[in-house]
Structures are given as C-alpha cells and as structure tokens.
Structure 1
Amino acid sequence: DSKLPMALRSNLLDLFGQIEREFENLYLENIELRREIESLNERLAGEGQTVDGGDLTKGALKTKASHSTSQLSQKLKTTYKASTSKIVSSFKATTSRAVCQLVKEYVGHRDGIWDLSVTRTQPLVLGTASADHCAMLWSIETGKCLLKYAGHAGSVNSIKFHPTEQMALTASGDQTAHIWRYMVQLPLPQPPADISASLDDDVDFSDKDEADGEADGPNECPTVRVATTTLKSHQGVVIAADWLVGGKQVVTASWDRAANLYDVETSELVHTLTGHDQELTHCCTHPTQRLVVTSSRDTTFRLWDFRDPSIHSVNVFQGHTDTVTSAVFTVGDNVVSGSDDRTVKVWDLKNMRSPIATIRTDSAGHRRMVCCSAWNEENQACNLFTCGFDRQAIGWNINIPALLQEK
C-alpha cells in the first residue's frame, strides 16, 4: 500500500537494515559484557567463601568488599585493554604524528552521496554519485561544480573514471550503467563562499527541463543528459561498476546477485559472473591486472581472474560474519575488505587463506552516515575525500610525515 517508489523503498529498507544490525551488535556486546561481569562476580564470591568465618568482622567484610570491587574494576580494565590493544597498536606508529585538516566542502547534491572518485588523468577533478539521480564533477581546489550528469532515471550508486580518457562510468538504481564523456575547464581559485544556504531544507527541488549542456540556473553547473553508452542486462539495481585495466571492458555488480563483464566499444555482454547467494554490494578491478573482486550480503567476497583468456577462475573468501560492504585492491598485492561486522581485513593476493591483518573499528565523521572515502596522492593539499548522507563531500588534508619520509 506504500506510495513510495520501489527504488526509494529499497534504499530505506537497506538503511533500516544497517541500523538494525548496528543495534544488534551493540546488544550482543552488552550481553557478553554482562556475562563477563557475572562470571567475575561469581569467581570473587567463591574466593570470599574460603575466608574463615571468625575473621569476617564488619571491618574485614568492608575490606574484602573494597578489595573485590577493586579487583573487578581491574579485571574489566584489563579485559577492555586487551580487546582494544590490536587496533591501538595498528595506529600507534601514525596517530601521534598524523595531522587531519578539513580543506574543502563540495555542496550541491539534493540527496545523500553514495560514492566518489578522483580522475586518473589531468585535469584532476572529483566525481560524486548521489541518490538525487545525478552525478557531479567538482573542482578539487575551489569546490565549484563543473558538470552535472542527469542521464539516469534512478539513484546514481557509483562513479568511476576511465584510466586515460575523459569518460565516466556510473551505476544506477534504474538497472543500468552509463558511460558518458565530459569536458571541463577548471576555474581560477575563489575565496570560500557561504555554503549554509545549500543545506537549507526549504530549497526548491522542482524538476527542470533545460537542454543538454546548458546551465540549470544562474548558480548551477552545465548539465549532460545523454549517455554515450548504456549497459543494460541486469534484473535489479546496479550497485557498482568499474573499468578493467586498459579501459576496454567494464564490470558491473547488481542486486540480482550477478556481476556482468561488458565490452565498451560494442556494449555487448561478455560474461555473467554468478555464484553469490545474495545481493552484490560492490565490485572493484585491479589497477594493473585483469582481476575483479566482488562483495556480497552473503558474507563473502570473490576474486575473479581474467588474465588467461581461456580460463576464468574464481575463488571464494569467507572471512567475515556479516555483509561484506566492499572489497578493493591496493596499489600493492593486497585486498582490503570491509564488513557490517565492523571489521576491516587485509589480505595478501599471494596467500589468501587468511587475512594478514584485522582491524575492528566504529565509523565516525560526517553529520550523517558516511558512504565512501577515496585517497588521492596526486593532490597533496587535498588528499582524502569522504561523502555521506549529509548531502556533501568533504576534502581533507592528511599529513603523515613518517609515512611520507618512508616513500
């Protein structure tokens, strides 16, 4: 009986599911902590029973109770310290020397931002994908919108740039992926403007029907509405897409539980990658090899190998206990996977039997849920970008002298 569009209902159900899992994890942790306290209390009570009755004067009881409370407190402190020592040691080498500074805010989307990416070629621009059905390109230095892509009929869930050409790949809730060309001219740096009006809840969200390439208004950026190539073989939301090395093929991941490999020039479907038991959440390609990694709500991620044209092998990895929200390749031979079980695991491609590192973490940052982050080593002044459901992307400067010196 709901009058909400199906895509919006799906997004809401997904968000509510994430919130429910967070509360469930907190509830289970609380139960485990209570059990630990009860166990310690029972142990201490047992020790108290061994004391001779004649010695249990009022003063002795008070001393024993004080000692028991102190011992319980120390036990809890030791337990907490042990449970957090791994993550503390992981960041011990950089925390004291790292300096994080907010540099720029990119405001203009009318709904939450799902994904962001930085171009691999000059000029360097930031791309964002939003639930407002649009993708936007931004000047990293000025924060100004350079171009808007409005060709999708649903939420834009991801954006990735071609390795050598000025082309972007976007995935959408309209069950398609689009490839579209862009041409941008970077503006001269301007003094920071007042962005408070951009987040005003009373802003007019009415649709506009301007022609392709024309500005939507006096304060809007030019808009492109037609894709160069449309990829449509999925039967569900396309949640992510990425270019394979060389840029001649792309891979898409969908809620229909499959990933598709397409030829860019012909738009033809080359392979359908099946095997996941539940909806896919992400896909990523290796920067220098024909490798693809897909992640899923089935708690696994899969590594697909296309290096040998005659053999397309796949390996399944079950290192998490909840939805694997993303799995990505690093510059080295590693895969980093993140999960709703609130762990991040690092894997070595040469030996994927077990993770080489596990970090337990809790998210923080924007005023609302943070959806994505991207690292950019080409721009030292603004080298980390984050986006979330507060409708904005943020550029940060992360300065870690120790790591920079090692490079």
Structure 2
Amino acid sequence: MGKLQSKFRRRSDLYRTTREEGAESVPVNQVVQYDPAHTGAINCVTTVSGWGPSTAVTRGSVSVGKGVEGQVVVVYDWRAGRLRQSLQGHRKEVTKVKCFPGTTWIFSASRDKTVLMWDLSSGDEPLQEFCGHELVVNGLAISPDGSQVCTGSRDNSMCLWDIESGTCLQRNTISRNLVTHVCWVPGSTSIVQTSEDKTIKIWDSRSWQVMNTFPAKQHIQTHCDVSANCNYLLSSSNGFGGQGCEATLWDLRQPGCKMVEYRGHLQTTACCIFLPSHQGAPAMVATSSHDCSVKIWDQNTAACLCTLTLAGSGPLVSLAPCDFGSLLCASFNTGLHLLHLGPGPAPDLCQVARF
C-alpha cells in the first residue's frame, strides 16, 4: 500500500521544533499521513521485533481494530508506512495482541473465546489455537522462555497453555475475577493480573495459585505493566471527571506497597507502560486515556513532564514503545499515531506520523 502524502523526511527534520519566548515548542513540519492501517477504531497495538533485515531493530507494529474489521490482525511497517500482512482467523473482534521478543511470533486473543498463534515467517495461517474459555479473552502473556502462554477471561478464569501442543496445562477460576489484563514478570515464574474486582493479583505459574492480592483500589484496574528490572509494577484505573483515572506505581519487592500515583487524566486511563531507560534521563512512564491525551511522567516523583492531546482522536486505548524516543498510540477515531519524545529532563512530546 502506498503513501497518501510524502515519504518520511530525515529524522532530524521531522523532530525539529521551534521555541519562542514563553511558548510551547511545536513541530516545524506537518504530520506525515500514511495509508491507514485500519478504517475504524483500534483496540490494541504492540511492536514486533525479529522482523525484517535486522532482528535488533523494531520495525513493525501489530494492531487490531473493532467490529468486523477487528477480526483481522494487521501487521504494519511504521517506518515505511505500509501494510505488510493481514492475519485472518478469528470469528469475532480481537481484543489483545502480543509478540514474543526476538521472534516473528504473534498471539491474538478474541471475543470468540480463543487465542491464535501466528508466525510471520510462515504465511498467513495460524499455527496454533488455544480453546477453552467460556467468554471473551482479555488477558494475554507469554512466558519468558517462550514455552507457555497465559490467558485470562471474563469467565473469571486464568489458564496456562503449552505453546507447542496447544494443551491447557492449568486452569483456575476465582469468583468475580473478570480479567482485564495480564503480564508476565520478565525472567520469573510470576504473572500479574488486573480485574474488574479492582484488585491486582500475582500468580505463581508453577502452582497456578495466587501468591499475593494487592489492596483493592476504588475503581476497576484496566491495564498493567512490569519494569524491565522486575522491581516495579504499573496499573491504571478507570474513572470519569478526574475521579479515579490514575495510574499507580507499586513495589513488587514489597507486594501491595503503593509508591506513587500519577494523577491528571480526566477520564479512564486505559493504558500505562514503562518507557525504555536512557543514560542521563529520568526513569519515565507513559499513560493514555479516554480524554484523548498521552502523558509522560517522572517515574519516581510522579511529576507530569509533558502532555500531548490528540484532538478528535476519541479514547486512546493502547501504547507501545518503538525505538528509543518513539511511541505508538492507538485511537478510536484517528488510527495509529507515531509520537516522538524529545530528550532531556523536560522533554517535548509531538506527533510525527499517522496511519
């Protein structure tokens, strides 16, 4: 698929900003518009590595939409601005996608109660299907060694599957545990899970039992992420009118110990992620919200470093880091957005492309 407008200019040109006395910095160049990855709302976006000529460089994005189109998993080269593959196999809307780092494996969870596994190097047909949930699958995580996949559903259950055989190894159902998100703690046997009962649970993948349950928040927990050093956990909250709507930093070394809260969004905070660290820069986290804004925060002080509002975008439901300083954002109304975060203690956040 070709481009609607121009090719990407040199990175230095795209990211150059002008600054006037007392004014916010603004991009010099207009946002580059590429052919859209989706024509409607987007549910989830992630990045895939191990794809293209260099496995060390993240080159693509994987996203899923809503409605009939949402049954298709789209693989899009965000650098070249073109569609690479469309993966069709689900019978209902896809809710989550997850890629296994360093490979071309993609896992997709759906309202059709299944999870499918794909390999971009093996064509457009799914390699494996994981069936067993009774309702929509909202949680999806892959073990650090790539041998197992964890799923969570609105049927109150968490399941552990063998990737090679597709066999369900473990299943545990807990009353009122309507799963909203799942992530595997890097390099460990622990799995973090958020749910509509407003709690965060830590699972042991060996015993398939809950090791710890964090104190319930005031609102539903929508999303979670674990830091690369495995010390910290982020969770985000639904809400309205500034009530709720926060993200929370927890210390995984002291389960249930709340460190700081990131407050400033006016509607549900749908996604929260740790940003890749860079020498000399403060540790940062990013959040996206139904209030059409993305915020960058100082991880330790909870100070809001910058805010970007994408007018008319509708809810911003998913974020994914790309190269250092680049961030993908999924929206309901305006497709996928490529954002750039400038360096320094007071970084600028701007949109450089949309597709």
Length-normalised TM-score, structure 2: 0.63
Question: Whole-Å Cα distance in 1 between the matches of residues 329 and 142 of structure 2?
Answer: 15
Going from structure 1 to structure 2, the CA distance change for 1:238 and 1:160 (only over 3 Å counts) comes to: same
Which of 250, 263, 268 is residue 318 of structure 1 equivalent to? 263
Q: Alignment partner for residue 351 of structure 1, among 301, 313, 330?
A: 301
Q: In structure 1, how many angstroms separate the alpha carbons of the residues matched to 2:194 and 2:223?
A: 6
Q: CA deviation at 1:373?
A: 6.0
Partner of 1:125: 105
If each structure's strand is expressed as a fraction of its own residues, which one has the higher value? 2
Does the Cα contact within 8 Å between 2:179 and 2:195 map onto a contact in 1? yes
Q: Residue 100 and residue 234 in structure 1: after superposition, are their counterparts in 2 closer, same or farther (change >3 A)?
A: farther
- For residues 101-143 of structure 1, what are the alpha-carbon distances to aligned partners after superposition, in whole Å with 9 as ceiling and x for unaligned? 111111111111111110125x430111111101111122433
The letter for the 1-side match of 2:134 is: A
Is residue 270–residue 316 contact of structure 2 (8 Å, CA) maintained in 1? no
Deviation at 1:283, TM superposition (A): 1.3
- Residue identity (%): 20
Conserved 8 A contact 1:320-1:339? yes
Per the TM alignment, residue 376 of structure 1 is displaced from its structure 2 partner at its CA by: 6.7
Query: What number of residue pairs does the alignment pair up?
Result: 259
Distance, in Å, in 2 between the alignment partners of 1:313 and 1:384 is: 28
Larger helix proportion of the pair: 1
Partner of 1:102: 83
Work out the CA distance in 1 between the residues paired with 2:271 and 2:316: 14
Aligned 8 A contact 1:300 1:324 in 2:
yes
Q: CA deviation at 1:371?
A: 5.9
2:293 touches 2:316 (CA, 8 Å); kept in 1? no
Residues 200-253 of structure 1, C-alpha deviations (whole Å, 9 max, x = no match): xxxxxxxxxxxxx6xxxxxxxxxx3x4212243351310111111223111110
Q: Deviations over 1:155-180 (max 9, x none)?
A: 01131211223211212111122121
Alpha-carbon distance between aligned partners in 1 of 2:321 and 2:229, rounded to the nearest angstrom: 18
Distance in 1 between the 2:99 and 2:330 partners?
11
Aligned to 1:334: 284
Distance in 1 between residues matched to 2:172 and 2:196, nearest whole Å:
15
Q: Deviations over 1:307-345 (max 9, x none)?
A: 357x83442221211111111112223211111111111
1:271 paired residue among 185, 208, 212: 212
> Which residue is 1:283 aligned to?
224
Q: Which stretch shows the higher mean deviation, 285-294 or 125-134?
A: 285-294
1:277 counterpart SS class: coil
Q: Does 1:149 pair with 2:130?
A: yes
Provide the C-alpha distance between the structure 2 equivalents of 1:177 and 1:241, rounded to a whole number of angstroms: 9
Aligned counterparts of 2:85 and 2:135: Cα–Cα separation in 1: 28
- Superposed CA deviations along residues 20-47 of structure 1, whole A, max 9, x for unmatched, are xxxxxxxxxxxxxxxxxxxxxxxxxxxx
Specify whether residues 281 and 264 from structure 1 end up closer, same or farther in structure 2 by C-alpha distance, changes over 3 A only.
same
Give SS of 1:307's match: coil
Q: In the superposition, relative to structure 1, how do residues 329 and 165 fare at CA in structure 2: closer, same or farther (>3 Å)?
A: same
Cα separation, 1, equivalents of 2:86 and 2:328 = 12
Counterpart Cα distance in 2 of 1:169 and 1:362: 36
> Partners in 2 of 1:114 and 1:321 — Cα distance?
24
Q: What 5-or-longer segments of structure 1 have no aligned partner?
A: 1-84, 184-212, 214-223, 378-382, 389-393
- Provide closer, same or farther for how the CA distance between residues 100 and 306 of structure 1 changes in structure 2, counting only shifts above 3 A: same
| Higher relative contact order structure (alpha carbons within 8 Å, sequence separation ≥ 6) | 1
Q: Secondary structure at the match of 1:109?
A: coil
Q: Identify if the C-alpha distance between structure 1 residues 270 and 105 changes in structure 2 by more than 3 Å, giving closer, same or farther.
A: same
SS at match of 2:253: strand
Instruction: Find the residue that maps to 1:322 and give its secondary structure.
Output: coil
- Flag the structure with larger Rg: 1
Who is 1:307 aligned against? 253
Instruction: Provide TM-score, normalisation by structure 1.
Output: 0.56
- The code of the aligned residue for 1:302 comes to T
Aligned counterpart in structure 1 of residue 183 of structure 2, from 242, 261, 279: 242
Whichever residue aligns with residue 159 of structure 2, its letter is H
What are the superposed Cα offsets for residues 348-373 of structure 1, whole Å, 9 maximum, x if unpaired? 22332x211111115769xxx99656
Cα displacement (A) at 1:384: 7.8
Unmatched 5+ residue regions in structure 2?
Answer: 1-22, 34-78, 239-243, 278-282, 344-355
CA gap of 1:271–1:238, structure 2 versus 1, over 3 A, is same
Q: Does the alignment pair 1:360 with 2:341? A: no
Q: Which runs of 4+ in 1 moved over 6 A?
A: 383-388
Task: Measure, in 2, the Cα distance between the counterparts of 1:318 and 1:386.
Answer: 21
| Residues 1:158 and 2:148 aligned together | no
- Which residue pairs with 1:74 in the alignment? none
Q: Return the letter of the residue paired with 1:261.
A: I
- 2:171 equivalent in structure 1: 230
Counterpart of 2:250, as a letter, is W
RMSD between superposed Cα atoms in Å: 3.6
